[in-house]
Chain A
Amino acid sequence: MSQVLHTPPPTATPGPHADDAAALAAQYGLTVSGARPSLPAYVRQLWARRHFITAFATAKLTAQYSQAKLGQVWQVMTPLLNAAVYYFIFGVLLGTSHGVADFIPFLVTGVFIWTFTQSSIMAGTRAISGSLGLVRALHFPRAALPVSYALQQLQQLLFSMAALVVILLCFGVPVAASWLLAVPILTLQFIFNAGVAMVMARMGAKTPDIAQLMPFLLRTWMYVSGVMWSIDKMLKHSSVPHWVEIALASNPAAVYIDLMRFALIDSFHAHQLPHHVWALAIGWALVAGVGGFIYFWKAEETYGRG
């Protein structure tokens, strides 16, 4: 077979002229394919896909351990092992437990709540760049992906919270009405996480290298957020200026962690929280959630390029 790859005579009928094409499209109500919808339309589309978002999150979560012999037991085992490692390093070896009442509940709450934010952000960074196949095959509002990944982490956290309740009871923390505060706290934290995940998803879609950088940023963030030490106790007698202490305690991760400790642990008192802590929690959630959503939507039509 001799396949001659010279170009055959261009017998193509000329397509419509530019102005004609636009006029013709307008006349029959055709819209530009793949154009970014308006913000309200985008919200509606996203809402219409809510079942996909939840189904995708649950599917990812169950697929995660489906090959392991212990299966879904790992959902609870993984966070417990994590907490054990941190207890060994910080509680036993470094002794940051000094002066902190109920150190193990304090530490485990911190680790679980922090892990929720950390893994949502990491998953968000890869939400678009890691699902290019899906983005290039099916049409749906792309925000469904980072939101779905954040939701998967929320479901994961609910398993951790079940483990946390057992730990709390084992260490003699009494059941209290304030435990109910966990619901609004987790809701606010989820909105915050989903917002940051959307910001990271857009950045990660343009520059996949960010996924390599994030672990370092996140680790720094973890160490300054008082996950395994008490900002309040540690900095009280140090030479660190007061505003640094306030800044550390007001950062979103510390706010959500300390609020959850306040809700769950009876020996963690309100005076250990920064001032206006609920305003901070709501503010961070709104800024990240709304800002992240708009930032992500602005580049909607470019996802999947390259």
Chain B
Amino acid sequence: MADTITKSAIQDTPRGTSAAPVPTVIADRVDIVYRVNGTGAGKGSATAALNRILRGKQAEKAAGVRKVHAVRCVSFTAYKGEAIGLIGTNGSGKSTLLKAVAGLLPVENGKIYTDGQPSLLGVNAALMNDLTGERNVYLGGLAMGMSREQVRERYQEIVDFSGINEKGDFITLPMRTYSSGMAARLRFSIAAAKDHDVLMIDEALATGDRSFQKRSEARIRELRKSAGTVFLVSHNNKSIRDTCDRVLWLERGELRMDGPTDEVLKEYEKFTGK
């Protein structure tokens, strides 16, 4: 009995078109809290640290552990085929929320349900500057969960896409010898080599020169087609308007608005005084 009620309730969702939409990500009243040691009144002094150890949790605040409530009670449901933009002023919790959806940051309260393993587009942390570009392609690919064969198959594609070898044989040099633009291009090329079910793209993708930017935008469109659901964090309202049909607006960790791109962006632009 209870089952039938919930099912009919689901089919009545506002986005329910002809067929019932298939949810891929459900966030249910999510709270995310960071704890930072050595800040606040105690300034991380030795006595404050001792105090914290001796008196346990009650002394946390006094002893300089500061809690940063980055995301507060955010709920939303994302459906298959949607491209969702995340907007908000700096420090409003956009990237934090994405990391939690990817299962990389534990939530304090609430639950996030996902279809498969959502992945964040980015591989920077796995790469090592002292290694050659070639070895970094393999390392990055393996770190993202590709098999050795898959990386080998895509290797040439990745190198060609990055354009690292356009000015000579740079892929066999250590990455620390690359210019910042070249390194950024290689990092993006590695990250974009894998197909994802739920893909999350954090801002600052527009790296490199004009021709590379065009190539990466095209690649993101391709990824969007193969991915079930795409999240895009950006401060560029134009790129949100171009790619997303739904927008979540976060402000001070709270979900301010959730709706069609035009409506939310209109309010957001009013808010930021643009």
Contacts and interface: CB of A to CB of B under 8 A. Distances in A.
Contacts of A139: 102-104, 117, 119, 145
Contact of B106 (A49, A55, A60, A302): A302
Interface residues of B, number: 72
Nearest to A67: B130
B158 to A, nearest CB: 16
State the majority secondary structure of interface residues on B: mixed
A70 to B, nearest CB: 15
B28 A55 contact: no
A2 B273 contact: yes
Contacts of A301: 106
A55 B131 CA distance: 12
B251 A8 contact: yes
B18 interface: no
Interface in A105-152: 131, 133-140
B113 A33 contact: yes
B27 A137 contact: no
Given A66-B131, A138-B143, A20 B103 contact: no
B115 A138 contact: no
A33 B114 contact: yes
Interface stretch (B54-62, B161-169, B216-224, B254-262): B254-262
Contact of B139 (A7, A18, A31, A59): A59
B147 to A, nearest CB: 7
A306 B34 contact: yes
Contacts of A3: 89, 272-273
A24 B125 contact: no
Interface string A28-54: 111111110000000000001101100
Contacts of B126: 56, 134, 137-138
B125 A21 contact: no
B75 A14 contact: yes
Contacts of A4: 271, 273
Interface stretch (B4-12, B203-211, B236-244): B4-12
A267 B103 CA distance: 56
* Residue from B6, B28, B74, B111 with most neighbouring chain A CB atoms (10 Å): B28
Interface in A254-306: 301-302, 304-306
6 closest Cβ contacts across the A-B interface? Answer: A15-B75, A34-B103, A25-B113, A21-B28, A133-B125, A30-B113
Interface of A: 1-5, 7-8, 10-16, 18-25, 27-35, 48-49, 51-52, 55-56, 59-60, 62-63, 66-67, 131, 133-140, 301-302, 304-306
19 contacts: A1-B273, A1-B274, A5-B89, A8-B251, A11-B256, A16-B75, A16-B77, A22-B113, A23-B3, A33-B114, A34-B105, A35-B103, A63-B130, A131-B125, A136-B105, A137-B122, A137-B123, A138-B126, A304-B105
